[in-house]
Structure 1
Amino acid sequence: MAVLSRRIRSEDWKPVGVKALEVNALQVVRSADNRSIIAGPGAGKTELLAQRAAYLLQTGAAPAPRRILAISFKRDAATNLAARVRQRCHRNHAARFDSMTFDAFAKGLIDRFGQALPERWRPRPDYEIMIPGERDYREFLSRQIGVPPAPVGTYADIQAIPVKTFERRHLVGTPLPLDGWSQPTPAQWAAERYWQMFLHEGRKSFLSFPMIGRLAELLLRVNPMARDALRLTYSHLFMDEFQDTTQIQYDLVRTIFLGTNTVITAVGDNKQQIMRWAMAMDDPFTAFDGDFGATRTPLYNNYRSSPELVRIQHILAQALDAQAVAPVSKTVGTIAGASCAIWDFSTPETEAARLADVVVAEMKAHALGPRDFVLLVRQKASEYATVLDPAFVAAGIPLRNEAGMVGSIMLQDLLVEAVSELIVAVLRLAMTTRAGRHWTACQEALIALWGIAPDDEVAQARLANELDAYVTQLNTTYPNSPKSKAVSRSVVDDILEFIGREKVIAAHPAYGQGGWLDKVLDSAAEHLLASSHNDIEWSSALDTYEGVHAIPLMTIHKSKGLEYHSVIFVGLDDGAWWSFANDQIEATAGFFVAFTRAKQRVVFTYCAQRGTRTKIATLYQLLTNAGVKNIKVA
């Protein structure tokens, strides 16, 4: 329950909405200095930051009109934190809390101030987002780049640049030099050519998010007015999932806030670093502590997992950090039998049927729903879904591959897109009964999008009337769930027109370039149509859209930050973990992340038909050391 908007004396403030916080967490919440918090799985990182926001805003430690900036690695993490702060604070306070991803933060800077960049580094205002891969860099280095000037080197020197590390080491590896590279090496010359080609030589400028991050850092380095505006705006900065911070992101934060009175709180877990393939720093915590004089503070409690799972987790954690301190489980075990086991199957079909039967039985035994379970895979979720889906359908529970594509967007990403969530909320309000919470969600979203002041009761009453009239009209216009793509897209466009396309773009800058908004809208319409099969009523179609009654299937990377009663990891074999030897630390961290999603039970499955398990013997040894049994399943 949100508290009143009046100021609370610091000594009178108490945690909001929870019984208590552990001692170290409460210390961080009340702190006035820079902190780096090592918070293991289930430690309540989101709750910690929400409580700190509540304390700062309610006591005036973050004085109006200054704001709090929270930057997360993933969009859903940013969304979840903002929602939690709204739960913990009066809306007058929550309105001064800005939660976004690093990419959205950097892009917002370029969209607002990018034309102030020096000409060499200035993108066109209508630039588009690109997501280049290794194949694109190979094409550039082998065919598009041309021959360097003689003082730089030869074509052979360019061909010697490793494609795999070109982006990380050379293109965005260091802050951009204002006047370009003087006396460049072949790799620096290649990086300069890439920048100039995609900034200036095409019909439009094309930028990747790492390139945008580097441009944002340069912009603020050479534009003191913009940098000082940010320093004056934000009294506090939160950085979530800090273990996955890239050098680009860290340099941007350092350029803005180093040496200022902005207080920074960085939260993460060095044992859950699974984004080194995406340029995460090797040890951002040590860099942050050194540069910003931060105090390192560990959290010890685990509010997610049972004592037995926490015991096993600690053994896995020690493989990643020998100094890892044993966490304390603050929940209880609720299941009979082993909390963790490896199930050895003869065929994938046997495996699928058995897993479906077990899930059905567990749902009945513990009064659980489909979303209390997850099937995790290392990669190639669609291949697993082909075998698993028929067995789960036969057992009466649909399986949903959340790593599957809807149009040009992964389903799991579509569901956390702001405009997708808003469309569903409006449809829930218009088309279903008992929609009170959706009324609140829609009203709060529109208040923010339409720029209505939290204390403007007249404007809010007018909004309520407009929303009420609109959802009545929407229900009349579309009484049935859509049966064609045209009707589905019409529904989506109708809602966007009411909300205001430009207002959505203003609130979410990523929708302003490269046709991204239309891609999201088209994918939402496609998914809405697919969810409306067999003439089902609106409430069922929306349940299907959100996967309310389906077991989710996803990859490890997409499970980060989520939690389930039971985790079933399908495919603990060399085939799935083919790259294990290339980076055992990151692979083991991924294994740790998968394990720690569970509250009560973890099951690993193995099937010899998919591959051996010699290359990942290390993972099996860790489980053996923890006393986990391997069980042959007939």
Structure 2
Amino acid sequence: MAVLLRRVRPEDWRPVGVNALEANALKVVRSTDNRSVIAGPGAGKTELLAQRAAYLLQTGEAPPARRILAISVKRDAATNLASRVRQRCHRNHAGRFDSMTFDAFAKGLIDRFGQALPDRWRPRPDYEIIFPNDRDYRDFLYQQAGTPPSSVGTYADLQGIAVKTFERRHLVGTPLPLGGWSYPTVGEWAAERLWQRSLHEGKKSVLSFPMIGRLAELLLRVNPMARDALRLTYSHLFMDEFQDTTQVQYDLVRTIFHGTDTTLTAVGDNKQQIMRWAMAMDDPFAAFDVDFAGKRTPLYNNYRSSPELVRIQHVLAQALDTRAVAPVSQTTGTIAGDSCAIWDFSSPEVEAAYLAAFVAAEMRKHNLGPRDFVLLVRQKASDYAVVLEPAFNAAGIPLRNEAGTVGAVMLQELLAEEASELAIAILRLAMTNRAGRYWTESQEALAALQGITPDDEAAQSRLARELDAYAINLSKSHPTPPKSNAAARAIIDDILSFVGRDRLIAVHPAYGQGGWLEKVLDAAAVHLYASSVSGGDWSTALDAYEGVHAIPLMTIHKSKGLEYHSVIFIGLDDGAWWSFANDQLEATAGFFVAFTRAKQRVIFTYCGRRGARSTIAALYGLLEKAGVRTYKMT
């Protein structure tokens, strides 16, 4: 029986689960026009969008016959937003909220409607997803493309194309022409050659995600029925981390929603744009404001960082945007001494030992856990881990390189994979005490896979009984953690059989392409066994799988969207920031992102053995301007 939810009058609606929102945030939540929201670090971007979803769904401003679509650049952002909406809304309302990445959205369109593309641009249904790099494009341009016709140019012209800009400028730089390029430049000729080769040669079509995005945009241009169906389905569109939107992604949104009654909300921070290397637009907010008459709305509060850190952040922010308005910290400082400092060490070994002892002491002093800290590096985390790991292990704090790989999957990505998350939730439910949270997570995930709506009480009850029975059988079949990789894989396969492989692929289409599901399952099994070798019980093994008691080591790019009590950035030197001079703006934005992960403290470390600090003198200058002091450590 369907549950009828009482509609709240817009004037009576109040924020859900929070005491209040800042004035501008509340204006965005209640807005009926298109908004571009500039929300700095700690401003509560996820909370803002969750509250807006609650307002629209609970008041009926998003009509019951229509849905809300939220698109994010990163998958963890999409997952976090969906989770927050479930916390703020009745499950019937949350069931009308679709949160996904741009890549998943575009891929879903191609998987459903791609065979309606004209022959020239039609991929085979069993296409494979690839992740080409500069070397692949170099090999194509200089060895595989051939010689262009004389009417287009010469082989020398082809060699003159910059490898690093071929994809951005030529391959996916502009919307695809329906009939191909009529009078192509040499770059367009090369792009056409690669498109046709990727689509029609070989056993399978092979496509990158940007190529899928371009095909999806073309599909909706030539198939008005599919485009109109999307327009009718979604009354509102949210775009998160909008500063990292690529031209491919923006053009897809514009083709679908420009000139419609769908209301758009774009949220992000132009000071945190660190994805220009991955084709992010230079200024997507400016384009949005012009194309969609977006009303620019800034948020001023910072709910993450202490007042002293916010003061320093503003100095960095002004280096990225001279018009940046000083944010207002909504929290308090809880530590004595410097909130930010630069520590200068004589060697990496001295540095590692000192940092490990420091973290151990701070954990005791402030009653913190290892995951209240993060060790950030610019790149090559494994090189740093070689020295850091022994020192932290000696201090009784396991260190985990989350930028490392397990099989063919990066560890941090594995932990965010739906198959891995569901397997661990079911194992927690079956093998540990006080697992109520995991029962709820498992029930909701399985209901989504089986297409069971929240108000189908009979089906929900049946699923609950099946889940309870399976958890009991699983605990009896595997009373102890696995003693081999084969045993771990058997457990993962057992869970997959219960979940349903076909269901998992149907809901998460990426698992149906290129053997990705097998790679994830293999990685999950390898990591589960590695997490069990200590000989502890299931709770210990699952804690190790998720890194509950380990301090994380990761790169700046992988830290985006996360927050920690204390951030320790290792390697503020020219060696780590070798590309600083090539793109000082993006490098400074990365520096800003690293700094703004912290709630209470930021420590930068320097060691002369790793490199000088002349190329990045500008970064040191910013810290000095903010009053950050350098200490010589022995």
TM-score above 0.5, yes or no: yes
Residues in 2 aligned to 1:51 and 1:281: alpha-carbon distance in whole angstroms: 28
Residues in 1 aligned to 2:529 and 2:114: alpha-carbon distance in whole angstroms: 39
Runs of 4+ deviating beyond 6 Å: none
The equivalent residue for 2:222 is 222
The equivalent residue for 2:461 is 461
Q: Which moved more, 1:148-157 or 1:17-26?
A: 148-157
- Aligned counterparts, 1:5-404, within 5 A: 5-404=5-404
CA deviations 1:65-124 (Å, max 9, x no partner) are: 210000001110000000000000000000000000000000000000000000000000
Tell whether 2:612 aligns with 1:612.
yes
Q: Which moved more, 1:499-508 or 1:209-218?
A: 499-508
The equivalent residue for 2:579 is 579
Residues in 1 aligned to 2:560 and 2:231: alpha-carbon distance in whole angstroms: 31
CA deviations 1:98-154 (Å, max 9, x no partner) are: 000000000000000000000000000000000000000000011111122222222
1:7–1:60 Cα contact (<8 Å) kept? yes
Residues in 1 aligned to 2:111 and 2:448: alpha-carbon distance in whole angstroms: 20
- 1:4 to partner: Cα distance: 9.1
1:430–1:472 Cα contact (<8 Å) kept? yes
The equivalent residue for 2:442 is 442
Secondary structure of the equivalent of 1:115? Answer: helix
Residues in 2 aligned to 1:598 and 1:184: alpha-carbon distance in whole angstroms: 50
Residue type of the alignment partner of 1:542: L
The equivalent residue for 1:633 is 633
Residues in 1 aligned to 2:494 and 2:48: alpha-carbon distance in whole angstroms: 39
1:409–1:520 Cα contact (<8 Å) kept? yes
CA deviations 1:177-201 (Å, max 9, x no partner) are: 0000012111111000000001001
CA deviations 1:525-565 (Å, max 9, x no partner) are: 11111111132211111000000000000000000000000
Residue type of the alignment partner of 1:549: H
- 1:5 to partner: Cα distance: 3.5
1:373–1:566 Cα contact (<8 Å) kept? yes
Secondary structure of the equivalent of 1:452? Answer: coil
- Aligned counterparts, 1:384-533, within 5 A: 384-533=384-533
Residue type of the alignment partner of 1:465: R
Residues in 2 aligned to 1:118 and 1:168: alpha-carbon distance in whole angstroms: 24
Distance 1:100 1:12, change over 3 A: same
Residue type of the alignment partner of 1:77: A
Secondary structure of the equivalent of 2:113? Answer: helix
Residues in 1 aligned to 2:556 and 2:534: alpha-carbon distance in whole angstroms: 33
- 1:483 to partner: Cα distance: 1.2
Residues in 2 aligned to 1:451 and 1:188: alpha-carbon distance in whole angstroms: 44
1:4–1:89 Cα contact (<8 Å) kept? no
Secondary structure of the equivalent of 1:440? Answer: helix
Residues in 1 aligned to 2:479 and 2:303: alpha-carbon distance in whole angstroms: 44
Residues in 2 aligned to 1:174 and 1:594: alpha-carbon distance in whole angstroms: 33
Residue type of the alignment partner of 1:142: Y
What are the ranges of 5 or more consecutive residues in structure 1 without an aligned counterpart? none
Residues in 2 aligned to 1:396 and 1:433: alpha-carbon distance in whole angstroms: 26
For the aligned residue pairs, the C-alpha RMSD in angstroms reads 0.9
Residues in 2 aligned to 1:223 and 1:154: alpha-carbon distance in whole angstroms: 37
Residues in 2 aligned to 1:32 and 1:428: alpha-carbon distance in whole angstroms: 43
**How many residue pairs are counted as aligned between the two chains?**
632
- Aligned counterparts, 1:550-565, within 5 A: 550-565=550-565
1:4–1:90 Cα contact (<8 Å) kept? no
Residue type of the alignment partner of 1:365: K
CA deviations 1:328-359 (Å, max 9, x no partner) are: 00000000000000000000000000000110
Residue type of the alignment partner of 1:449: L
- 1:167 to partner: Cα distance: 0.4
What are the ranges of 5 or more consecutive residues in structure 2 without an aligned counterpart? none
Secondary structure of the equivalent of 2:400? Answer: strand
Residues in 2 aligned to 1:164 and 1:77: alpha-carbon distance in whole angstroms: 28
Residue type of the alignment partner of 2:624: T
Residues in 1 aligned to 2:425 and 2:315: alpha-carbon distance in whole angstroms: 43
Identity %: 78
CA deviations 1:449-475 (Å, max 9, x no partner) are: 111121111111111110011011111
Residues in 2 aligned to 1:116 and 1:199: alpha-carbon distance in whole angstroms: 14
